[in-house]
Structure 1
Amino acid sequence: MSPFVRGRLAALSLCAATAQAHLSLRALPLLLAAAVAPPLGAQAEPLAPSAFVVKPYLQIGRNLSPTTLHLLWHTPDESADWAVETRPTSSAAWTRAGAPQRTRVAVAGVTPRWVLNAALTGLPAGGEFEYRLLRNDHPVFSAKALAPKAAEQTYRFVAFGDVGAGTAEQKAMALRAWLSKPDLVVVPGDIVYEYGLVSEYDKNFWPTYNADEPSGSGVPLMRRVPMFTVPGNHDIDNRDLDRFPDGLAYYFFWDQPLNGPTGTEGGPIVPKLTANETNRRQFLAAAGDAYPRMANYSFDYGNTHWTVLDSNPYVDWTNKELQAWVAHDLASATQATWRIVTFHHPGFNSSNEHLEQQHMRLLAPIFEAGKVDLVLSGHLHNYQRTFPMTFKVQKNGAGTLLMGGKDGTRVRGRVVNGRWTLDKNFDGETQTKPQGVIYVVTGAGGKELYDVDQNDAPDSWQPFTKTFVSNVHSLTIVDVKAQSLHLQQVTAEGRELDAFTITK
């Protein structure tokens, strides 16, 4: 038996073990296909493990375009000269990117590291390209990747929230995401559990989504296509750096736009940090200009305008300036065919869990005026879809603020009453032009499921809910074309749970 076959059989054995414990055996043919397929995006040159703390992964960067991406990687706290080169095909000459920027992450509780960031420019819009890293002029890593799509190109994205828990279900859903061959990946919050720590990323996130080859334990997804993220409560709600000095790692590891509303600590958008002088200084040095602005941002990908919002309850979304920013952002997307908004806490939710957190309903009239097509959330560890709907907030327009915590001063959310109008003629098959906004919860990406008992109890659902699946983990696959958007919700085995099409 050849070494190649032995290696693949070993990978298959690992996949089968995961499947037996947590998946239907029907998934095995798909896992086998992943195990024997050429590992797109895997490294090409041998490399001592100590050269990387985290291997290269793609980011949309501060100013995404169809010909640009950013490449990040983490190295030990040591001196080395790094360079990045790209080429459109294996027969073309390598072109060197600009010198990478470096940020030292040195906070208490974890070993210091460097986060390096190189801009990749001149990419073939929507096409495949190669990149490689050189350490002290020696090639040490290479991969194939996909450049962002231009406005006239179709694309596929996958979405799954509430992921970085280190579970077998998380790994199974990661493999399904890889097999779906996306161009773009979005995580609508709760990137890692439980406190947004550097150590939690290292244990439960990078090994799953940035592995060397696809298997039952991880996939090379992030070195192949860009992933962007939405801050959830487990990512940035914890502001106690004295208790968790490696917390708020969201601001260390992601390179995303900084075009959202500005805010200062203690204001309506940014809560105060609890940190002694040393912990505050170390955090701010590692976060750089990402803190606090990267919690809200927007960008264009293909023919779609994406708006990302911080829905943590500490944000006061009754604030007129914040509402005006959202309205202006959507109104300015004049060249976009599709408008998608994503945030963590859903405003319209049928789960008994977190039913009281309705504060994001306050923005529904703004979404409607801004012609939003789809809203993606997480937070509930299941899948939910509303009918196309419009919502008129009750007369006072603010709802009832809910407080909690030991001292009764922690904001838990808002109950926001109002009147909804549902488009029940839309079926996503023959009637594909919705009257209103469709809200989707895709929070079954890896953490334990919520409200399984409600799966077969439609009388427990809210009237605006069209589909509710809480008894199986799943993710969202969306194919975006010039005049149509097709959504599928699928399990780890690829079984379809829901599907609909929107047309312009």
Structure 2
Amino acid sequence: MSHSAARHTLAALGATLLTLTSAAVAAPVAAAATTPERVILVPTADPSTSQTITWRSDDSGSPVLEIAPAASPDQVTTVDGAKTDEVGGTFHAVTANGLTPDTDYRYRVGDGAVLSPWRTFTTASAGADPFTFLYFGDVQNGISTGGAAMARAALAAEPDAELAVHAGDLVNDADSESEWTEWFEAFGAEATGTMNHVTTAGNHEYALLSLSDYWRPQFPTPGNGASSWGRHLPDTSYHTDYQGVRFIVLNSNYRQAAPLGSRIWMDIQRDWLEDVLADNPHPWTVVTFHHPVFSNSPDRDNGVLRDAWLDTFEEYDVDLVLQGHDHSYGRGNVAANGTDDPRVQTGPVYTVAVTGTKMYDIAEDNWTDNGAEVRVQLSDTPTYQAVEVDGDFLRYTARTADGTVVDSFTIDKGDGKVVTDTF
């Protein structure tokens, strides 16, 4: 049984109702191996009662999911899958609905004759039970070396992590078969197949003005994102609720997706974001997208994003804004949220991180010139981040591959919201 199966005590289980959802597009390429590969868990809007799974194989049979409560492995339900895309092989997707919260399920996928190994995932709790998630910046370069080492270090240090958030630029070349193979190998079949992965598209997930052919079939959204005006918003914006946290994914690639209407494109996402924040029933909010509202790099500025979204983050007091793109580490806040205690702030926390080997110079100018302050800023420092959510507390720790802590802070909502540096 996988590490995810050990996270929860098994409850009494009843019958499970499962249904199928999927989406379809087309882009034929050569076939993959028969054995199911690139099996990955993708979150639905409510991971406590449903789970989406995607994978790739050849096109020799009809895709199926076999699933059973781990406590009753003989109660197998078979669900027909759907072929979604042809990119280096045939991609498939299936969504199991009607699952029981806080419950271990074992499953396998394939064509009925050739199936993947049995793996186990755990549905989210219905309430705000404690959990840990991982946050990765750009993997992009040196995937099989630096990125893989960092991913494995994170998974070894946090074996009970239930979710991974990826802030874009998972690969360098949007449509590179070899790089996507390296990315899946870096995280490993156990991690991709047993924990949900919240992904946001970076600029390197675009080839010229087109979203990667691999994106939709690998990472289908729950279908609750921003409107379809312009390009790609239904495929790249969404939200998912996990044990007291609303995770919101935005697409910051206005240069690639809407070069002739960037402000309109950003405003549509802002209006959607406001609705999602106003309707959030949970105590915590995490927003992720690729390009930072405050750039860590000299001569970079994403003013269109800042003008469109920053006031909304501040107005709704978003807890974490997780970003990538600048190939360095940074953490800060809007200066107006500072207090007399230099270790304490209020308001949203903005972070920038990198996981791979490509590094850029750093400067504070874009932060300070736009009313923000830098609390931690590091060059030449790839990291992974572990975020523990436990009741009124959120504890964030950034580490290098060897386990060195380079930043940490705690958000305490017990008596008003206070963010305290702990590093």
When normalised by structure 2's length, the TM-score is 0.80
SS of residue in 1 equivalent to 2:79: coil
Name the residue aligned to 2:92. Answer: 116
The separation in 2 between residues aligned to 1:184 and 1:55, in whole angstroms, is: 17
SS at match of 2:84: strand
What is the correspondence of 1:70-81 to structure 2 with a 5 Å cutoff?
A: 70-76=52-58, 78-81=59-62
Aligned residue number for residue 481 of structure 1: 390
- Residue 134 of structure 1: CA displacement? 5.5
Please point out which of 440, 446, 449 is paired with 2:356: 446
3-state SS of paired residue (1:328) = helix
Sequence identity, in percent?
Answer: 24
Residue 494 (structure 1) aligned to one of 403, 414, 421: 403
Structure 2 Cα separation of the partners of residues 202 and 75 of structure 1: 15
Change in 2 beyond 3 A, CA 1:302/1:81: same
**For residues 74-125 of structure 1, what are the alpha-carbon distances to aligned partners after superposition, in whole Å with 9 as ceiling and x for unaligned?**
011x32244322233255423214211112315xxxx4x2111122345443
Cα distance in 2 between the residues matched to 1:120 and 1:201: 29
Deviation at 1:345, TM superposition (A): 0.4
Given that 1:343 and 1:378 are in contact with CA atoms closer than 8 Å, whether structure 2 keeps it comes out as: yes
TM-aligned CA deviation for residue 437 of structure 1: 1.5
RMSD (Å) for aligned C-alpha atoms: 2.8
Q: Secondary structure at the match of 1:260?
A: coil
- Partner AA of 1:65 in structure 2: P
Cα deviation 1:427-476 (Å, max 9, x = unaligned): 66xx5xx422110112x21131221xx5xx88997461110122321011
Q: Does 1:358 align with 2:303?
A: yes
* CA gap 1:137/1:94 in 2 versus in 1, 3 angstroms: farther
Give the partner amino acid of 2:317: K
Q: Is the 8 A contact 1:60 1:69 kept in 2?
A: yes
- Unpaired segments of 5 or more residues in structure 1? 1-37, 43-48, 212-219, 242-246, 271-290, 390-419
Match of 1:345 in 2: 291
Q: SS of 1:51's equivalent?
A: coil
Question: For the residues of structure 1 that align with 2:111 and 2:226, how far apart are their CA atoms?
Answer: 38
1:238 aligned partner: 208
CA apart distance, 1:342: 0.9
**Which segments of 5 or more consecutive residues in structure 2 lack a partner in the other structure?**
6-31, 414-423
Partners of 1:459 and 1:260 in 2: CA distance = 33
Query: What is the DSSP-based 3-state SS (H/G/I as helix, E as strand, rest coil) of the residue aligned with 2:327?
Result: coil
* Corresponding position of 1:209: 187
Select the residue among 166, 170, 175 that pairs with 1:191: 170
CA spacing shift, 1:52–1:486, aligned 2, 3 Å:
same
**Secondary structure at 2:33's aligned position in 1?**
helix
User: What is the correspondence of 1:105-254 to structure 2 with a 5 Å cutoff?
Assistant: 105=86, 111=88, 113-133=89-109, 135-137=111-113, 140-165=116-141, 166-179=143-156, 180-181=158-159, 182-194=161-173, 196-211=174-189, 220-236=190-206, 238-239=208-209, 247-254=212-219
2:152 aligns to what SS in structure 1?
helix
The 1:299–1:41 alpha-carbon spacing in structure 2 relative to 1, beyond 3 Å, is: closer
1:340 & 1:240 partners in 2: Cα distance? 27
Quick check: 1:72–1:116 contact (8 Å CA) kept in 2?
Answer: yes
Instruction: Tell me the distance in 2 between the aligned counterparts of 1:304 and 1:380.
Output: 26
TM-superposed deviation, 1:164? 3.6
Moved over 6 A (4+): 457-461
- Give the SS at the match of 1:170: helix
The aligned counterpart of 2:242 is: 301
Trace 1:407-418 onto structure 2 (pairs within 5 A).
none
| CA offset digits 1:170-218 (Å, max 9, x no partner) | 0111102211121000101111112x1151444331221234xxxxxxx
Separation in structure 2 between the aligned mates of residue 426 and residue 89 of structure 1, nearest angstrom: 50
1:98 has 2:79 as partner: yes
SS at 1:299's partner residue?
Answer: strand
Residue identity opposite 1:355 in structure 2: R
> Which amino acid counterpart does residue 193 of structure 1 have in structure 2?
N
Count matched residues: 374
Which whole-Å deviations, capped at 9, do the CAs of 1:121-177 have from their partners, x for residues lacking one? 454433433212364356542112232243321111101121143241101111022
CA distance in 2, matches of 1:330, 1:80: 43
Distance change (3 Å), C-alpha of 1:208 and 1:322: closer
CA distance in 2, matches of 1:124, 1:493: 38
User: Which of 383, 389, 403 lines up with 2:329 in the alignment?
Assistant: 383
Per-residue deviation, 1:73: 1.1
